[in-house]
Amino acid sequence: MTNTKQQWLQAFTGGFIATLLFHQGVLALFWLGGLIPTFPWNMTPVPPLGIPQVLSLAFWGGVWGLPVWLIIRRWQGIKFWLSAMIIGAIGPTLVAMLLVFPMKGLDVNATKVVGGLIVNAAWGLGLAVWMQFSLHR
């Protein structure tokens, strides 16, 4: 894939899909283990457009796919995979805990931070898997 626009579309798509499969998949495991009270893939409409919460989250996962791909795309091997997970874990979790949660009046605690790091690392792994698949097909 040499076309830059196509790479950015793939990065957005990868982040979107990684949210639905990897991020929400780990949340499903947390839910099945009784660690969180709410079922993942939340279809509750959210303002301002009234789209399901999980699709709003997936959109932002797609947006996050762009800068993460910009950073990890030139690396190979274990550095590629670990970077995807580490950057995926730290970036979105910091923004969620320092900006989004306070704007929504949600409390931040150690459990939420650790959970955020785990699900967002899974998201980063999902993005990396998608990009490897899309680059080598």
At 1, the pLDDT band (50, 70, 90 cuts) reads very low
Q: What is the pLDDT of residues 93-110, one digit of tens each?
A: 999 999 999 999 999 999
The pLDDT of residue 136 is 74
The parent domain of residue 69 ranges over: 4-135
**pLDDT, average across residues 98-126:** 96
At 28, the pLDDT band (50, 70, 90 cuts) reads very high
Q: Count how many domains the chain has.
A: 1
Q: What is the pLDDT of residues 40-79, one digit of tens each?
A: 999 999 988 999 999 999 999 999 999 999 999 999 999 9
Q: What residue spans of 1-137 are helical by DSSP H?
A: 4-18, 24-32, 53-72, 77-95, 101-104, 110-135
Q: What is the pLDDT of residues 2-20, one digit of tens each?
A: 578 889 999 999 999 999 9
Got the DSSP string for 37-76? SS-SS---EETTTTEEHHHHHHHHHHHHHHHHHHHHTT--
